[in-house]
Structure 1
Amino acid sequence: MRSSRRRPWLVPVLLCGLAVLAARPTDGMDGDGGPGTGLGPQVARLYDDAAKATRRYEDGRREAEAQRTKALEYERRLDGQRRKIDAMREDLGRIARAQYRDGGGLPLTARMLLADDPDDLMRGQRAVSRAHRAVDRAIGENLGAQARLAAEEAEAQAAWQALEKRNADLVKLKKEIEGRLEAARSRLEGQADTSVAAGSCPGAVRLDQSDLPAGPSWMAPVETYELSASFGSGGSRWANRHTGQDFAVPVGTPVRSVGTGRVLKVSCGGAFGIQVVVEHPGGYYTQYAHLAAVAVDQGDRVGAGQWIGQSGSTGNSTGPHLHFEVRVTPEMGSALDPVPWLSQRGVPL
């Protein structure tokens, strides 16, 4: 177990994280929520801030648990040291009692005069003296070890309590961010519904995505999700069968292109609401529907993992989710089951 002395940076890092996260959610939140106020980027930032706060809390919780385990281990070892000292003191008591029973209360000169073999008496006296010194030395060493353990236990306890307080602050901050996120999501959804009802697609609002994920050529269209309606399932909302895979995610969740390609179509209205269709090499097309906002324009080149919009509930939808399709033509009626298609490209869902 690593010593808590090696982690002096932990609490300052958490404090810096709190300061940064506390400042960010207020950026640009004073607008009236109308077109042009950048609700999409605000939601994306808040979404990212909430995820970061969650990760920081989980990191802090694990570190606090490790510190608590360390303090409990120190306490267990302290108990062992105390038991050793008690046993050594008992040994000293036994030696003293044995000396007394063997005439240890008499002066050494008198005992030598009365002894049958003075040399044996001296040897025994030296042995007893060495035993005394050995036990005293061992007790001293154990007392020193006990003092060191007590100091380390106190340090681990203090670090644990400090981390618990930071975690409580992070929980409070996370709830505040999530409250602001929920309000911004509601405004974004209302804005999207208004645009679709008016038949005017909102223009692309570029999202501030830091870096594209490195490595994989293909990935899931959203990072965190629950699968809902699957390909081929029946239901009253579809004329025949469900033609894609639904991902249950909150409004405003960044939606990403599953692979490299070109934006073939951005449209709104009808059953799919606001949607984006991307053309990929090899003759495949992917559709992202029921969006609340788009972050690309028709003709844009996109990379795997690039944000192309934000999830919503526009069109024929009973709740926030992403409808994702894989097709062999740009139009409806040529859909493939997206789950095995992605799995073949190294993306299990």
Structure 2
Amino acid sequence: MRSSRRCPLLVPVLVCAAAVLLARPTAAEGGSGGGEADSGVSTKVMRLYEEATVATRRYEVGHREAEKQRAKARRSEQLLAREQKHIAALHEDLGRIVRAQYRQGGGIPYAAQVILANTPEELMRSQHVFSQADLAVETAVAKSRRAEAWLAAEQARAAALWRDLEKRNGELAGMKRVIQAKLDEARRVLQSQADASAAAGTCRSPVRLDGVHAKITRKWVTPVEGYRLSAGFGSGGARWANRHTGQDFAVPIGTVVRAAGAGKVVKVTCGGAFGMEIVIEHPGGYCTQYAHLAAVMVGQGDRVAAGQWIAQSGTTGNSTGPHLHFEVRATPELGSSVDPVPWLTARGVKL
């Protein structure tokens, strides 16, 4: 599978904020303990994801607004330059009228013009023509001057607002960098805990959070959001004994992993090539596997709904970088996998 769907890397499940604020770890269920500590790190990662998303949205909104104001300032500047050129042309017209008046007697004293005129009508007509021309040009010049003043004020206002927005965006960018640094550190701690569990081959207690899935009416969903498809089913590689047995979704450490469909958790393990993994059996006999995880939110025997949060992605086991390895199997065991992409497509999920 070579095609990909690209989304911003910092796009968590939109209900994350409400879920995290209400999140409360419950008592550890099975495993080797450490559930409370894991819950704190997992919750922190999800909270920081939401903060990063909010900061990114605010920055993007501010950036778009700044671009609008900058474009407005540029348009006003262009219109101002055009108006100034128009005023210069009007002044040139006025100069031509004055020169024409002089050449046609406009510079001769009025008493001489009266003596030299053939008839009174000719004198009045010449005076009226030049007066009308003078008035028309002077009116146009005054109108253009008013337009020039308005455009200059508009250009100044737009430029000032643009500078204010740019300053605010700089502050938002700094906030984003701080949040991202905290998120990177929280991911590191989460992955470190996961590596320790995978090395020991013993899963820690599930991270139990209240309200950990949105209300989804669809029967099947993608296992993660905001992903990039990487290694596909059947592809070759030095890290696999034969061929790749699933579809990889490239996502950052700590990304929420969802149950692709309703079913029962039949396997939760934390060692071997898949690192930390979950297998869910669905009605009809098919199973889905979620591997290379950093934390699990369900235990063996749990019933899950489509779209329910079951884990956080990581890079445990035989993994070269953060991603979710997703398989569809005819049985819960390795060796019965089918291509997940057409399988999901047949169920209304397009990757």
Contact 1:291 1:310 in 2 (8 A): yes
Aligned mate of 1:286, from 272, 285, 288: 288
The answer to whether the 8 Å contact 1:35/1:191 transfers is no
- Offset of 1:342 from its aligned partner? 2.6
Quote the residue 1:36 is aligned against: 36
Q: How does 1:102-251 map to 2 (within 5 A)?
A: 102-206=104-208, 212=214, 217-251=219-253
Asked whether the 8 Å contact 2:266–2:279 carries over to 1, the reply is: yes
1:215 Cα offset (Å): 6.7
Bigger drift between 142-151 and 221-230 goes to 221-230
Residue number in structure 2 paired with 1:308:
310
Residue range with higher mean Cα deviation, 318-327 or 52-61: 52-61
Matched to 2:36, the amino acid is: G
Partner of 1:66: 68
Cα distance in 2, alignment partners of residues 211 and 70 from structure 1: 44
Please point out which of 97, 100, 104 is paired with 1:98: 100
Give the Å deviation of 1:167.
1.9
Identity %: 59
Change in CA separation of 1:256 and 1:210 when aligned onto 2, cut-off 3 Å: closer
- With over 3 angstroms needed to count, the CA separation of the structure-2 counterparts of 1:70 and 1:217, relative to structure 1, is farther
Residue 57 of structure 1: how far off its partner (Å): 2.4
- Tell me the distance in 2 between the aligned counterparts of 1:49 and 1:162: 23
The runs of 5 or more residues in structure 1 that have no matched partner are 1-20, 25-33
8 Å CA contact 1:272, 1:316 repeated in 2: yes
Any idea what SS the aligned residue of 1:241 has? Answer: coil
Corresponding residue number in structure 1 for 2:319:
317
Q: Which amino acid is the alignment partner of residue 72 of structure 1?
A: R
Q: Answer yes or no: is the 8 Å Cα contact 1:196–1:314 preserved in 2.
A: yes
Residues 212 and 304 in structure 1, CA contact (< 8 A), matched pair in contact too: no
The 1:106–1:232 alpha-carbon spacing in structure 2 relative to 1, beyond 3 Å, is same
Q: Distance in 1 between matches of 2:92 and 2:210?
A: 72
Q: Secondary structure at the match of 1:323?
A: strand
Is 1:230–1:244's contact at 8 Å kept on the other side of the alignment?
Answer: yes
* Helix, strand or coil at the partner of 1:103: helix
| Corresponding residue to 2:58 among 56, 59, 64 | 56
TM norm structure 2: 0.81
Q: Alpha carbons of 1:283 and 1:152: their partners in 2 closer, same or farther (altered >3 Å)?
A: farther
Q: Distance in 2 between matches of 1:64 and 1:120?
A: 62
> Using the alignment, how far apart are the partners of 1:200 and 1:210 within structure 2?
24
| Alpha-carbon distance between aligned partners in 2 of 1:281 and 1:69, rounded to the nearest angstrom | 57
8 Å contact 1:275–1:288 — kept in the other structure? yes
Unaligned runs of 5+ in 2: 1-16, 21-33
- Specify the alignment match of 2:31 in structure 1: none
Q: Using the alignment, how far apart are the partners of 1:222 and 1:50 within structure 2?
A: 18
Give the aligned residue type for 1:230: G
The CA distance in 1 between the partners of 2:74 and 2:210, in whole Å, is 45
User: How far does residue 311 in structure 1 lie from its aligned partner after superposition?
Assistant: 0.8
Distance 1:244 1:210, change over 3 A: closer
